[in-house]
Structures are given as C-alpha cells and as structure tokens.
Amino acid sequence: MIVPGSASQEVAAALASELDEPLAAVEYDWFADGETLVRVPDAGDRAIVVASTVSDSAQVELLQLQDAARQRAEEVVTVLPYMGYGRQDEAFEPGEPVSARAMARAISTGTDRVMTVNPHEASIADFFEVPCATVDAASHL
C-alpha cells in the first residue's frame, strides 16, 4: 500500500498507479494547540510512505505516517521526493548542526529502507541508519 504525505499526494498517486498498489486514504485531524494527528486505516504487509519534508510540520507528519504504518505493516519503506534540510549536509560554522544527518537519523527510526529523489548530494544517503538509495528523476521532470 502507498501511504501519501499531504505534500506528496500527486506523486504518491502516480506511484500507486505505476506499481498497481492501493493508495491509502490517510485521515488528518488537528488539535486546538496546532498539533496534527494522522490515521492510516490499513497498510497491508508492506507500506511505502511517500512524503516530502518541505517544512518542519511535514517532517513531523512523516514520522507519524511511518509510526502509523508500522502498526500494521511488517515492512515500511520511505520515499522522499524532496528531503528538507538536505542541503545542510555539513556544519558551516562552529556550533551548527548537520541538519541533513539529524533528519536522516529521525527518519531512520520509523522505516526499514529509504529512497531519496535527487538529493542535494548523494552522500546524504550515508547519514541514514537504514539502507538508503538515491534515485535520479531529472529525466522524467
């Protein structure tokens, strides 16, 4: 089953069509304090979470989607059409984080494998604590 993030609806639907996989009907709810809750009704044996992390809230949403999918699926694969913070692949000044590494570590906690699409640097794949492949989609764009 393909589990789409809110910022990746079209690419997730296209992937579901291409793979002849069902597209999950993810439900969203918001609490009064602005926090988000996602619900993944069914993920099957394998869930492919497709979510761009275009903002901090999208990053949190991805972690929630992974966790919800893991409740039902034996395998979770994460596809990142766009990885936020991917350009911060080194510390430029003392005391700064390597944000790409921090995000990769967080994403790794909820998935078995990751695919990044056209990352800023292919070397960010090394930051993940699970197998990570980079995919070049430039010819399709």
pLDDT digits (tens, 9 = 90+) for 16-42: 999 999 999 999 999 999 899 999 987
* pTM score over 0.85: yes
pLDDT at 101: 96
pLDDT at 4: 95
pLDDT at 128: 97
Distance from C-alpha of 86 to C-alpha of 28, rounded to nearest angstrom: 26
- SS3 category, 97: coil
**pLDDT exceeding 70 applies to what percent of the chain?**
98
pLDDT at 14: 94
> Residue 47's beta-bridge partner residues?
76
Residue 141 has pLDDT above 80, yes or no: no
Distance from C-alpha of 20 to C-alpha of 62, rounded to nearest angstrom: 23
Q: Is 2-135 CATH 3.40.50.2020? A: yes
Residues whose CB is less than 8 angstroms from the CB of residue 59 and which lie 6 or more positions away in sequence, other chains included: 53, 84, 103, 106
pLDDT digits (tens, 9 = 90+) for 57-105: 999 999 999 999 999 899 999 999 999 999 999 998 999 999 999 999 9
Among 43, 33, 38, CA closest to 60: 38
Per-residue DSSP letters for 13-82?
Answer: HHHHHHHT-PBP--EEEE-TTS-EEEE-S---SEEEEE----SHHHHHHHHHHHHHHHTT-SEEEEEESS
Q: Where are the domains of the chain?
A: 2-135
pLDDT digits (tens, 9 = 90+) for 112-128: 999 999 988 889 999 99
CB atoms within 10 A of CB 62: 28
